[in-house]
Structures are given as C-alpha cells and as structure tokens.
Amino acid sequence: MKSLCIDLFKNCSATSLAGTRSSRVLTYRFQRTNYQTHLPSTKLTFSSYSTKTCFATLSAVTSEVEEKQTFNPDKAGELVKELRNSFNSGRTKSYEWRMSQLENIAKMLEEKEKEITEALYKDLSKPEVEAFISEIVTAKSSCNEALKELRQWMIPQKVNTSITTFPSSAEIVSEPLGVVLVIATWNFPFLLSVDPVIGAISAGNAVVLKPSEIAPATSSLLAKLVEEYLDNSAVKVVEGAVPETTALLEQKWDKILYTGSARVGRIVMAAAAKHLTPVILELGGKSPAVVHSDVDLQVAVRRIIAGKWALNNGQACIGVDYIITTKDFAPKLIEALKIELEQFFGKDPMNSKDISRVVSSTQFKRLAKMLDEDKVSDKIVLGGQMDENQLKIAPTILLDIPEESQLMQEEIFGPLMPIVTVETIEDSFDVINSRPKPLAVYVFTNNEQLKKGFVENISSGGMLINDTVLHVSITGLPFGGVGESGMGSYHGKFSFDGFSHKKAVLYRSFSGDSSLRYPPYTPEKQRLLKAVISGDIFSIILALIGWSK
C-alpha cells in the first residue's frame, strides 16, 4: 500500500491533497517544518549552507533529527492506537464530552477570528469579508446547530415492528464509528477542516485532522488551536505533505472524509479499500451555470460573479466552472458581465483588494498553460492579464473555446470562465449530460417548465435555481457529490449521520413465545405460519379455527 500511495502521489499536481514542494519534510509532534525554519522545541535554526564543513556538520544534526522525528507508518500506527484507546474508554461517546468539545470550538471561533482571517490572507490573500462569510461564519453556523440539536440527534429513532415479532419494540441507535480521518483541502482551508471535525465530534468519534500543506499558515494555526482548545487525547492534527499523508492512509480507520481532486480521491479510496474503510469523498468537477434569456440579467450576472470570482477567485469546488447560454443571448450576457465585474473589482482588477490570489506558482502555471493553449487564447473577450510575481490572474471570459481544450476537459479551479453557446437553451441538457456528473448545477430562468426539466433530467450533487453556491448554507440539505464529483454527504445532521453507524436494535420479552416457529411443522402450523407471515387477518382467523381459503 505504501508503494501504491507514493507512486500515485508522485503524479499528483498541486491541485491535489498532496503538495509538490521539493523540500524535505521534518515532523515534530506531528508538525511539519523544513530546513529554512526552526524546530518548535529548540533554538536551532537551519539556514542556507555556504561551506562544505558547515554542510557536513548540519547534515549530521539534521539526519539525526529527521530519523527521530519523521512521521512514518509506525508513528502513524502509534497515533491511531492512542486515539483508539481513548475511544474505547468510552469518554468520547458521552453527551457531556461531545458538548464540551463543541463549546470549545465555538469559543475558539469567537476568540481567534482575527488570527484565522490573517492566516487565510497569508495563504490566499483572501479578503477579510470573504474569509468571514465563507469560512468563519459557516463554521460557526455548523457548530451552533450541533450544539442546539445534538441531544435530539442522539435520541434513538423508534421503528414499528410486525406481528411476526409481537410483542416487541425496535429502534435505530446512532453510535460513533470509532477513530476517523479528515483530510482537508487548501481552497477553504479552515472551513473544510473544521466543519467535518464538528460532525465527527458530534457523532462521538476520536478524530485526526490532516490540513493541507498548500495552505501552510492555516495548517499551522489549526494545529495550534486544536492543541489549545480541544481534548488532545481524542482530537489531533497531523501536518505535512506526501509522506505524512501516505503514512496516515496505511492505517486502519473507521471512516475517512477527503476533500480535493478526483485523482487523489481514487488514491484515498484505494487505501481505504485495503481495510474496508467507508469513505466520504468531496471531489468537485465542472459545475455549469445555464442562463436563459428570460432572466433579470443584472441580478443573474451579479450572482454568477459571486459564485465565481468573489468566491476565492474561482478556486472553489462549487464555483461556476463554465456558462451555457444561447448564441443570440451571449453578447448581452458578456456585456453585462463586463459592466458588473468593473463595478465589483474596478477598471484594473489586478489591483483590487476584494479578490483572492491564485494559491501557488504551480496553480498559476497550470492556469496560464490552459489560457495559452492553441485556439484558446484568441477566444478571450475580457481579461487575460497575469502577474506571476503576485500570483494574480484577472477575471477572464472566453467564448466558444474548443471542446477538446483543457479548459473544457478539466475542472478549471481559477478565474477563467468559458462561455459555451447553444442554439436553444434546451440543448444545454445534452452538454451537461455528456460530461461526468458535476458537484453543482446552476440554472437561471423564470420558465417553470425549464426549471422542472433540469430537476428531473440533470444528475448532480446539488442544484440551485436562480443563484449560485448558497445551497450549501442550508444545513437541512446534504452537501455531497455523485459519480465523479464524489460520494457521501455532510453538513448539519448529515455530518452527524455520516460519522455514525445506524445500529438496528429489536427488543423482545420472554412472554408471547409461540410454538409456530419451532418444529415439528404440522399442516396446521404451516397454514397458520403462512397466514401470520402474509399479514392477512382473515387467513389468520381461518387458520386458527382450522379452515383454509
């Protein structure tokens, strides 16, 4: 399994769970550091090596440190064993423990809001308001709902029984799965770490959180906050990159939740299959927005911008990936997009403080390559400006690019927006259904028949009519994908259910024992037994008096 994971990770891009940093990784108390940063417990600092003597001396020191501190499968196994002992003690199963941890998360979100916002700005240049709305407030909402509803969620669900088990009662008991692993991603590095952890704790599990190393400031902050606010015997953070993730995936977990690319989702699922571990995979995909000509154009365009460029600059799994509209309506739509983008981000969006940057140089180069592809760059109708030093790409709109281009074959995950034109809006059904099932579909129309058609004929993780992304804020709706966009769901009670086992329990007393179920099976018994199993009262009466139909 180790070779499987490492070989596959070698082929992963920075869009994936694992980063592509070439620096060697050290681990100390499950925290990552490298030769340019100091070890948390010492004054020793590793800086550039200028002489052979210095290099040799430091090499001996770092080799010894690395040997002791590398987070390998053995250390991962020790970690899981420690957490399993905590879980087996029964402490995490109690209502009191779960509530105390949720209350501490709520306290953390209130007290550390500034630090969280600063970390998100360091990692993504995420504007303060966007960080507050899309990450902090959403995490607060999840935590507050769990605090409010946990007791109700934990109550066993009564189930009706049948005459064949009379007298009896039955219920479904939600029990925690055990020790679970949450592997988060970098685009919403705080929310997509904390939200699943809230669900796992609510369900009574011990948890390991693996934040994304591609958002190092948030990862480091999460490690610090979890240690400060939560029960470290049952909730832990492991920082790091490929080696740490590989070591974790070799362990036996009771559930794994992974958010990221479909490529790495396959790696996670292959590792989980070794232990028959169930998974929740949130994988994204190419989520389209279909725009009919009968809409309030200004409102529709503003909501599309909010679901693309004002949402981490397009770096969101639920963000609008491309637009479908009719050939006749496309010019009006493009003009409206130009006007509203200027209203939102100014005449020079490269200098706007209200838009996030691209997360890394690897991501920047990937997007630049997409844009520079043959027969693509000449399709730009707005934007296209790039600054690699600042990792910024302006909001860019392209019209009718080739279907075989990377922009139309891969999830974009950036500020580039292709517009696909069709003859009639109904043709958009074929465009969407010809691709893997997306995580979200957005439809803008006032035509009730068209709305109904999309709901009935388009399969996607979620669907939103006349807006974008807001469906994930409704905790009563499950958030998850289908097919290539993922499996399983969470949010609200769905998070609690996702990290719980629904145990079927039937209660019977020693009274009411019938000889019908026991041999010898006489003709009279057979008639009555068949009548009872069928549930036909008339047949039961006839069998009891010795008659038959």
**Residues catalogued as catalytic:** 282, 317
| Nearest CA among 471, 120, 486, 109 for reference residue 312 | 120
Beta strands at 157-159 and 168-176: parallel, antiparallel or unpaired: antiparallel
**Cα-based torsion angle of the residue sequence 325, 330, 334, 340 in order, rounded to the nearest 10 degrees:** -60
CB 297 within 8 A of CB 262: no
HSE, CB side, 13 Å, CA atoms: give it for residue 332: 14
**Environment class of 546 (CB within 10 Å of its CB; exposed 0-12, middle 13-18, buried 19+):** exposed
Report the distance separating Cα 475 and Cα 473, nearest Å: 6
Beta strands at 486-487 and 462-465: parallel, antiparallel or unpaired: unpaired
Report the distance separating Cα 247 and Cα 294, nearest Å: 54
Report the distance separating Cα 247 and Cα 252, nearest Å: 11
Report CA torsion sign: 527, 530, 536, 540.
positive
In 10 A of CB 342, how many CB atoms?
14
User: How large is the C-alpha radius of gyration of the chain?
Assistant: 28
Beta bridge partners, 32, equal 27
Q: Is 426 left (phi over 0), alpha (psi -120 to 50) or beta?
A: alpha
Report CA torsion sign: 293, 298, 300, 305.
positive
With tokens 């974009």, the residue in question is: 412
What strands lie across the sheet with 380-382, from one edge to the other? 380-382, 396-399, 416-422, 322-326, 288-291, 440-444, 462-465
Record the tokens describing residue 164, joined without a space: 């064949």
Give kind and range of the element (H or E) at residue 210: strand 206-210
Helix axes 297-306, 330-345, angle to 10 degrees: 60
CB 521 within 8 A of CB 543: no
Beta bridge partners, 21, equal none
Give kind and range of the element (H or E) at residue 170: strand 168-176
What SS3 class is residue 446? Answer: coil
DSSP string, 315-376: --TTS--EEEEETTTHHHHHHHHHHHHHHHH-S-GGG-SSSPPPS-HHHHHHHHHHHHSTTT
Record the tokens describing residue 72, joined without a space: 């390998």
Report the distance separating Cα 335 and Cα 355, nearest Å: 21
Phi (first) and psi of residue 137, to 5 degrees: -60, -40
